[in-house]
Structure 1
Amino acid sequence: MNDEHQGRYAKLRASLASKGLDAALITSTDSIYYLTGFRYVPFERAFFLVARPEGDPVIVTPRIEAENIATIALPHRIVEYVDYPALPGETYLDALGSVLSVGERIAVEPSMPAEIMAGIADYAPEVMPLIETLRLVKSADEIRRVETAARYSDLGLRMIMDAARLGNSIKGGYDRIPELRAEIVRREGTFDQYTSSIWLGAWAAPFSAQPHRFPEPSDTFREGPNVGLSFLRVNGYSAETERTFFLHAPSAEEAEIFATMLAACDIGYDMLRPGISAHEVDHRVMTFLRAEGFGDNLLHRVGHGIGMGGHEGPWVAEGSDDVLEENMIISIEPGLYWRGQGGYRHSDTVLITSDGYRKLTDFSRDINAMTLV
């Protein structure tokens, strides 16, 4: 991975130069992992990668992490501070003062904690999504790693649906998580606890109308639309697979809504190609659903980016400035929701190709396959 990290850091340096910046302070764990492959949990101690248009990065670290930092393959220099909190002269601000100067143009990440932002106010930092922008377009290695996560995402959803029965608790899906983790370890050889996670869940009707409500293990499957979600990060990279399914023969109305949801997905898919506005994809899908009379049943955008994070840019939303490019990875997941009744949403992990798109998740989606009786 050293060549991969060298290439990413070179792109960051070029970005700094093109924007006339003297330095960037990189603080988020995912950004550090993206640039160096280093995994850590900072807790309360501040940690910085200081990048400049020329030269190797300087890593400002608490002393307790210094020996770990030395293992980073990307060439770098280490500056230590004692601890947090620390006496005057021994703080992280003192360490930063040895590598930065007031009056330089310095960029910081949007995710920088407010406490640190206030502490470095004298440097007049500018908030810029530098790493977030670099992460939008995936390398061949990143695509391979998302493809790997996508295979396990599909397997996780199959486990959810295999455990689903009318009258049963949704807990059956949660119970399969150790089995899925073991399968990943068997096939991949590792399940890195710092950069991996598994969430297998089901929203039983009527809670499927609340897609961001955490399902309770006591929730019980009943008639109506249920939504199952397999949401994984496997050794650094993410994928998601989501399906609406029934545990009874759906009514004519339920089947019609299901078909409308699929039609909305297909409108989005038909637009996917390099150069298309992410705003326009969402706008066209939403225009269709509003014209069908479902304006009051919409809760969210059509999709979002997927990579190291399960939710990252590009944002497939009305108001987004993002333009799709080859090798971006996104979700397509328009949804329809009725409070107290249930919701309808499929989601797949999708790669933008040179002439369109390719689904990285591969799970049945028609109503016959999604009727489990």
Structure 2
Amino acid sequence: MDRAKRVDNLRQIMKEKNLDAAVIFNFENQFYFSGLKAITYSRPIIMVVEQKKESLIIPSLEEKHAGEKTDAALHIYHEVEGRGSTDYHALFDEVMDGIEGDKVGIEFGALPAELASSIQEKGHDLIDIQGDIVRMRSIKSDEEIEMIKESGKLVAGALKHTLEQSEAGKSELEIDYHGNQYLFEEISKNNTDSTLDYFVMSPSGIERTNMPHVFSNTRKLETGDVIIHSRQVGLNGYRAECERTYFIGEPTEEQKKAFNVMLEAHLAALDFIKAGVTAKAVNQAALDVIKEAGYDAYVSHRTGHGIGIGQHEEPSLRFDNDLVLETGMVFCVEPGIYIPGVGGFRHSDTVVLTEEGAEIITEYPRDLESMIIK
């Protein structure tokens, strides 16, 4: 990944806004600019970008890792007595004391208030650059897109293995395991020195599928169940998503109708989405189908969202987003309907916006017949 170009782009924004430094606290943004993806737990990492240098304030246990990933100057705090500074606040103060000028860019939605206050106490005005970084991340480079496409193949493969091994008597956790095992084996075999992020949930039954976001549990699948199997895979930090609603045995007529309305809405959004249309128009394309069928009262979320380093990124495909979509953006398209006493119904596919339209990178059957496990 061309991290240097990203930092140069950030510095250009800093010039345009007359900023003397930018403080990056969001861990996804730190990865985007530095390449460091740390397991932080309770130990903060702070990145400071100036026109001539970059600094990272990190815990000592990340020193070797950071040294391999970035050329930034490292300021180390310790948890063992007698080895140096034990207070990241003091190190942050030292870095900020070296900054001349009166304007500092921060992510208003990420930087803790105590750190923001310490910057202000030094006489700096705070300027929000969160939207600028969101904009940068929303347009993926060719290299990022290739990584997301690889994740798309993996997530579709994992979903396939879970669906093929689903049967009455197995728990939600057990069916997740089959897809997970495929992921671990496939990546270990074909991707040298790679990392894997993944998320999976498989709510089953009428009640649990009416809750769009619940962790898989030990509930055992039963004949007649509806299941929403949701997966994300991130190869080396870049994610793709695929979800399918399917059935153990024959669904009821009411479930078939709801499924087909969801599918038609999903396909309508996939057909409509492309560079040059607004985010809210994509949402409306799906909602028009759902409204015509009389199910609009059962819609509880937007039609989709961006994806990449983060599980959910901007832009959001929702009713109030006037943003015009652009080539290089990547989205999960996932309209859903959730009907008490009937079940929840949602497919999701990841698409890359290209000059020609939208490329679906998570191909897997969507039709009702393919989604009935007999």
TM over 0.5: yes
Say if 2:164 is the partner of 1:162: yes
1:1-373 maps to which residues of 2 (within 5 A)? 1=1, 4-52=2-50, 54-62=51-59, 65-66=62-63, 68-74=65-71, 76-80=72-76, 91-101=90-100, 103-108=102-107, 110-122=109-121, 123-129=124-130, 130-176=132-178, 177-192=180-195, 196-206=196-206, 207-373=208-374
**Alignment coverage as a number of residue pairs:** 366
SS at match of 1:70: helix
CA RMSD of superposed structures (Å): 2.6
Partner deviation per Cα, 1:280-322 (whole Å, 9 max, x = no partner): 2113322432232112201100000111112111111112243
Counterpart of 1:153, as a letter, is V
CA contact (8 A) 2:302 2:335 kept: yes
CA contact (8 A) 2:227 2:247 kept: yes
Deviation at residue 179 of structure 1 after TM alignment:
4.0
Query: In the aligned structure 1, how far is the partner of 2:54 from the partner of 2:295?
Result: 52
- Name the CA shift for 1:372/1:64 in 2 (closer, same or farther; >3 Å): closer
Query: In the aligned structure 1, how far is the partner of 2:274 from the partner of 2:304?
Result: 15
Query: In the aligned structure 1, how far is the partner of 2:307 from the partner of 2:264?
Result: 23
CA contact (8 A) 1:142 1:237 kept: yes
Deviation at residue 128 of structure 1 after TM alignment:
2.6
Instruction: Please state which structure has a larger fraction of its residues in helix.
Output: 2
Deviating more after overlay: 248-257 vs 277-286: 248-257
Query: In the aligned structure 2, how far is the partner of 1:264 from the partner of 1:90?
Result: 51
CA contact (8 A) 1:271 1:281 kept: yes
Counterpart of 1:365, as a letter, is R
Counterpart of 1:326, as a letter, is T
- Name the CA shift for 1:64/1:191 in 2 (closer, same or farther; >3 Å): closer
Partner deviation per Cα, 1:135-157 (whole Å, 9 max, x = no partner): 10111111111111111101111
Partner deviation per Cα, 1:39-65 (whole Å, 9 max, x = no partner): 32334443322223x323233345554
Counterpart of 1:133, as a letter, is R
Deviation at residue 368 of structure 1 after TM alignment:
1.2
Partner deviation per Cα, 1:252-296 (whole Å, 9 max, x = no partner): 332222221111112212221212110221133224322321122
SS at match of 2:9: helix
Counterpart of 1:140, as a letter, is D
Deviation at residue 198 of structure 1 after TM alignment:
2.4
CA contact (8 A) 1:46 1:92 kept: no
Deviation at residue 6 of structure 1 after TM alignment:
1.5
- Name the CA shift for 1:90/1:56 in 2 (closer, same or farther; >3 Å): closer
Q: Which runs of 5+ in 2 are unaligned?
A: none
Query: In the aligned structure 2, how far is the partner of 1:313 from the partner of 1:371?
Result: 34
Deviation at residue 224 of structure 1 after TM alignment:
4.1
Task: State the TM-score, normalized to the length of structure 1.
Answer: 0.89
CA contact (8 A) 2:203 2:229 kept: yes
Q: Which runs of 5+ in 1 are unaligned?
A: none
Deviating more after overlay: 268-277 vs 134-143: 268-277
- Name the CA shift for 1:203/1:65 in 2 (closer, same or farther; >3 Å): closer
Task: State the TM-score, normalized to the length of structure 2.
Answer: 0.89
SS at match of 2:138: coil
SS at match of 2:205: coil
- Name the CA shift for 1:221/1:133 in 2 (closer, same or farther; >3 Å): farther
CA contact (8 A) 1:66 1:80 kept: yes
* Residue identity (%): 25
Partner deviation per Cα, 1:156-212 (whole Å, 9 max, x = no partner): 1112112211343223223222342122111112442xxx32233322121111111
CA contact (8 A) 2:197 2:237 kept: no
